């Protein structure tokens, strides 16, 4: 992780410069893009481990950059914006971001968030290990960051993968939103427990597809408590 490449997408030169300086001081390699178009090009070219994405860009909205990245990449994304309402954060995370930082922010905090996201993106498990749950419907290969559901490959973001892994390691166990936030983020994400709902929604869509009924969903809602992965 020390030499991971980080892409900073920020059109304010001073903020980009300070952010890059703190990241480099912490041992990361850093590239900088000032537009959404340049960011998309650099992600394709350099394959960074993580993207720090400002949402206010001159050529396109950061949300659109995030959408496009999620079509072809599972790169970790930390959104940076002046928007601070819970609804706006949930919307941003629902697009597939792994974390969310509000301006003005402490560069030291941002570096800590980067390290936390990258640390949790790596499973530390053997490449050939296989986790089979849901009566054989769901097969997870933690070391390869691969998931197959009903025989088909499923592409997940780093955070979605961590969330699914927590549930899959404990089939049948009900996790509260705060439990899941703590396990996948490593800290209380500013109290915004409802962000988990957006990620669960994305996971259900990717695992089950639009045609699958609620009766056959692998991830169940336990009303008033939280979520669980069906053991069988």
The pLDDT, as a whole number, for residue 1 is 43
Q: Give exposure, 101-124, as e/b (b: 16+ Cβ within 10 Å).
A: beeeeebeebbebbbbbbebbebe
What pLDDT score was predicted for residue 191?
47
pLDDT at res. 193: 63
Q: Which domains does the chain have, with CATH numbers?
A: 5-121 (3.40.50.2300), 131-229 (1.10.10.10)
Q: Which residues contact 49 (CB under 8 A, 6 or more apart)?
A: 1, 4, 5, 6, 75, 76, 118, 121
Sheet with 50-54: list strands edge to edge.
29-33, 5-9, 50-54, 76-81, 99-102
pLDDT of residue 197: 85
Residue 189 has pLDDT above 80, yes or no: no
Residue 209 or 172, more confident: 172
Segment 45-99, tens digit of pLDDT: 999 999 999 989 999 999 999 989 988 788 889 999 876 666 666 777 777 788 8
- What pLDDT, in 10s, does the model give residues 6-28? 999 999 999 999 999 999 998 89
Average pLDDT score, the chain: 83
Q: What is the pLDDT averaged over residues 197-203?
A: 87
Across 211-220, average pLDDT:
67
């Amino acid at each position: 992780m020390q030499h991971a490449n980080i892409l900073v997408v920020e059109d304010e030169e001073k903020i980009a410069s300070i952010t890059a300086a703190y990241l480099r001081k912490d041992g990361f390699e850093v590239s900088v893009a000032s537009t959404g178009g340049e960011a998309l090009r650099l992600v394709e070219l350099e394959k960074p481990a993580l993207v720090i994405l400002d949402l206010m860009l001159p050529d396109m909205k950061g949300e659109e950059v995030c959408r496009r990245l999620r079509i072809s990449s599972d790169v970790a994304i930390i959104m940076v914006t002046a928007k601070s309402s819970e609804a706006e954060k949930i919307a941003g995370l629902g697009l597939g971001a792994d974390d969310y930082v509000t301006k003005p922010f402490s560069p030291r905090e941002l570096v800590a968030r980067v390290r936390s996201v990258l640390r949790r993106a790596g499973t530390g498990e053997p490449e050939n290990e296989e986790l089979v749950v849901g009566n054989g419907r769901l097969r997870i290969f933690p070391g390869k960051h691969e998931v197959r559901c009903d025989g088909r490959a499923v592409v997940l973001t780093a955070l979605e993968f961590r969330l699914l892994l927590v549930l899959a390691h404990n089939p049948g166990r009900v996790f509260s939103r705060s439990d899941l936030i703590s396990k996948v983020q490593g800290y209380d994400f500013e109290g915004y427990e409802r962000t988990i709902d957006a990620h669960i929604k994305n996971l259900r869509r990717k695992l089950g597809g639009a045609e699958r009924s609620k009766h056959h969903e692998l991830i169940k809602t336990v009303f008033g408590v939280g979520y669980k992965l069906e053991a069988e």
